[in-house]
Structure 1
Amino acid sequence: LCRPDSILVYTGGHDDLYARIRSSLSRLVPSDRYTVFHLSPEAMKKQPWVEPTTACLIIADTSELDDRSWANMQLYFNQAGKIIFVCQNRLLASLTTCGSTKKQADMIRMAFGSRDSISMGKDFEHFLKKSLKTLSKQGQVNATFHSKDFAGGMSYSVVLTKAKDMPLFLYMENSAHQASAIFSDATSEQLLAPGSRILPDSLSRVGVNITECTPPSLTPGVMVAQEPSIIDSLMGVRYGEEIGQTPKLFLRKAEKAVEQGMPEASETLLPIEVLNSAYPDVGFDLSLYFSRLRTRNLGRVIVYVPVATTTMDVNASFCDAIPTCDGAVIVAGRQIHGKGRGGNEFVSPLGAAMFTVSTSIPQSSSLAKTPSFLQHIFAVALVDAVRRLSGLDDFPLRIKWPNDFYFNRSHKVGGILASARFRDDGLLISIGGVVSTCLIRSRQYWFLDWMNMHEMKGQKEVLKVYYEFWLHSREEVTIEQLAEKGIIRGLDKCGYLQVRSKSNPSQIFSVGDNGNTFDMMKGLIRHKLR
């Protein structure tokens, strides 16, 4: 499974607008082909989003874009970037109301070309003047301009088009860089109106593969324990009422569900049918799962949802509603809002199982003092499980710090997301990920083994194996702000990278990420000197 290309959506911080555009995209682009990111104003300025896997950048608000943001967009455009300007976009409004054709041409050059370039010059100014005059008189226009940047050896084409009662579009292509951009003065209502072709046509024009998609409908789930008495003994289980956080959980025993039916699943409500010993065909082999389970506590209660919002939210609601059910595992066949690091969407391909499991750690344990290290123990457990199941000691699955898994260094094949919060009796940890179904039961078993090793023998024993599995031994990194280079030595006790300064080898310090949502190895920041 290769890392999917990204479609970035910038809305100037307007979350509601992003949600509407994201909903439209879910019906246009296949989720296993593209990952959609919400690009924040801060991320637009600073984060390493300019990369080959960025298939398209959608700009839905230009009002807050500063010079640094425009510079990043120009850099992306010059690297075969594809940009679509839609929704509340002021550039074309300025273009049509500006009284100077020279200023109009400068606007386009600012967005697309070198500020030193005069390649479009008088010919382009004449094209704009003539086209906008036609637009003013007739209310519509369809004109094309071809230019040659003799200084840079780049050829450009510009298409200005407006049909009656339709938005104005300006399409520009740089054939040398294989870059393209579309400007539109479409409103949010025009862009997102039912049946509107503005977004799909724009995406197609910049090379994004469009497929009419029907997002899967949310489904009820089933809950079952290795022994039926386990559920009966749980405090907090209440049937026939809504419990927990969002989504609320509605539990009903199987025999009652047959008689009374179940509510409809939604983003705010998850109906769960509680099974006894008979396991219906739900798309997950419950009998096989329990027959292979080797843990005393972890995973003995399982909730399976064919189509869920995200297992992380279901798990949080479950832990809130039934806090005595320690070690339950939440499994989804598909997620429609899978959660990744930093708010990213977690790709949820068919054929894998997305899951989240929670367990409590006593406050007296060493792990409770360094909960951030838990994800590294879990990462070791996963790679260890894969190697044991494959029968190959050198199976090429590797850990990319802090929470991704790569095959042969080149293909991202999965990741994990960890969270922790204190409770009266200790620390509640939740870890989610995507694996094959056979690994769910295996990883829980080996995760407990590795946790026990950590408690009994300390971090060093875990790190010995971790370093065998990871990608970063003696890798060179650049520390943000200081412009300082360092060599990775390993992890510190909290799980951050430990780096030795290249300019001053006696200095060893810990670094973490700068909060960017694209690549944790880009934008490392220095925590402290040692």
Structure 2
Amino acid sequence: MFRVPQEIGLIAIAVQQSQGKGRGGNIWLSPMGAALSTLLITIPLSSELGRRIPFIQHLVSLAVVESVRSLPGYQDIDLRLKWPNDIYYSDLMKLGGVLINSTLTGTTFHILIGCGFNVSNSNPTICINDLIMEHNKTKNTQLKPLSADCLIARSVTVLEKLINTFQEKGPNGVLPLYYKFWVHSGKQVRLKNDDGPLARIVGIDDSGFLLVQEEGKDVVTVHPDGNSFDMLRNLIIPKQQ
């Protein structure tokens, strides 16, 4: 990837995966119908995003959600964001995720963005076209199903715009849109275990890390590489090394 001229875009697209990678060394089996891609981008270290490189995973997941919900008529399809890098149906079920690998050479980040989300495959969880069909039934609409190719193209285009906005305006340029779609607004969680202290999710900081606050205490930062967010149990759990 270091030999690719920076002005040339490069993306690898898979129709099916048998050894997809997730966080923590997880292996994913990705069936036909999912949108599966790895995108190469470069970010200058001295830029707004270069100084806050963990934010890139939030921009990618936001780009996927916005690629659907910015389509005329599709704005109410209930795709949402789970910190730090998951794409969800409401706050109920995961249908996609993002994995970032970055290498700093000199003053440039070379970033490989792995992204996969279910478009027309109802298994193993749920897919975007399932959500569209349900919307058509409940709202008496006739929205057409979407294709993986279309949404990969749209998400890359949206990502480019989000990166440009971030580089110009910093986190505040993208956070209003991010918060519009994320699942954590006003939510309370337990820390460490089911009987752990109760904390309120405040937002994310300028580096993209989660901000939580126990009652009567200061706001603290939770880093994605050291913690796991268990949505089913509403827990933030330190990862076991």
> Could you say whether these structures have the same fold, taking a TM-score greater than 0.5 normalized by the shorter chain as the test?
yes
Q: TM-score normalised to the size of structure 1? A: 0.36
Alignment correspondent of 2:136: none
User: Take 1:446 and 1:494, find their aligned partners in 2: how far apart are those partners?
Assistant: 21
Matched, 1:350 2:63: no
Which residue does 1:471 correspond to in 2? Answer: 183
Q: Is 1:509 aligned to 2:190, yes or no? A: no
- Deviation sequence 1:17-76 (CA, Å, 0-9, x none): xxxxxxxxxxxxxxxxxxxxxxxxxxxxxxxxxxxxxxxxxxxxxxxxxxxxxxxxxxxx
Superposition pairs of residues 83-98 of structure 1, within 5 angstroms: none
Q: Give the match for residue 205 of structure 2.
A: 492
Please name the residue that 2:192 is paired with: 480
Q: Radius of gyration: which is bigger?
A: 1
Shift in CA distance, 418/409, structure 1 to aligned 2, threshold 3 Å: same
* Per-residue deviation, 1:453: 0.8
1:395, distance to aligned residue in structure 2 (A):
1.9
Aligned counterpart, 2:125: none
What is aligned with 1:391? 73
Q: Would you say how many aligned residue pairs link Structure 1 and Structure 2?
A: 204
- 8 A Cα contact 1:357 1:430, kept in partner: yes
Q: Which residue of structure 1 aligns with residue 103 of structure 2?
A: 421
| Alpha-carbon separation, structure 1, partners of 2:237 and 2:181 | 21
Q: Is the 8 A contact 1:514 1:523 kept in 2?
A: no
Alignment of structure 1 residues 121-140 onto 2, 5 Å: none
CA 493–394 in structure 1, closer or farther in 2 if over 3 Å, else same: same
Aligned residue in 2 for 1:402: 84
Residue in structure 1 matching 2:150, options 429, 434, 438: 438
State the Cα distance separating 1:518 from its structure 2 match: 7.9
Q: How far apart are the structure 2 equivalents of 1:377 and 1:460? A: 12
Q: Aligned partner of 2:69: which letter?
A: R
2:5 to 300, 316, 324: 324
1: CA distance, partners of 2:59 / 2:75: 19
User: Once superposed, what is the RMSD of the aligned Cα atoms?
Assistant: 2.3
Say which structure is richer in strand: 2
- Render the CA deviation track for 1:254-291: whole Å, top value 9, x for unaligned: xxxxxxxxxxxxxxxxxxxxxxxxxxxxxxxxxxxxxx
> Could you say which residue in structure 2 is the equivalent of 1:374?
56
Query: What is the TM-score of this pair, normalised by structure 2?
Result: 0.77
1:333 matches 2:44: no
Shift in CA distance, 514/427, structure 1 to aligned 2, threshold 3 Å: closer
CA contact (8 A) 2:43 2:50 kept: yes
Indicate if the aligned counterparts of 1:335 and 1:348 stay in contact, CA closer than 8 A: yes
SS in 1 for 2:76: coil
Any idea what SS the aligned residue of 1:366 has?
Answer: coil
Measured in 2, the distance between the counterparts of 1:369 and 1:518 equals 25
Long gaps (5+) in structure 1:
1-318, 526-530
Deviation at 1:439, TM superposition (A): 1.0
Report the equivalent of 2:140.
Answer: none
Q: 1:390 to 1:349 in 2, by over 3 A?
A: farther
Deviation, 1:390, is 5.7
Residue 31 of structure 2 aligns to a residue whose secondary structure is coil
Tell me what 1:462 maps to. 174
Is the CA contact 1:496–1:511 (under 8 Å) kept in the aligned structure 2? Answer: yes
- Indicate if the aligned counterparts of 1:343 and 1:517 stay in contact, CA closer than 8 A: no
Shift of 1:501: 1.7
Change in CA separation of 1:434 and 1:367 when aligned onto 2, cut-off 3 Å: same
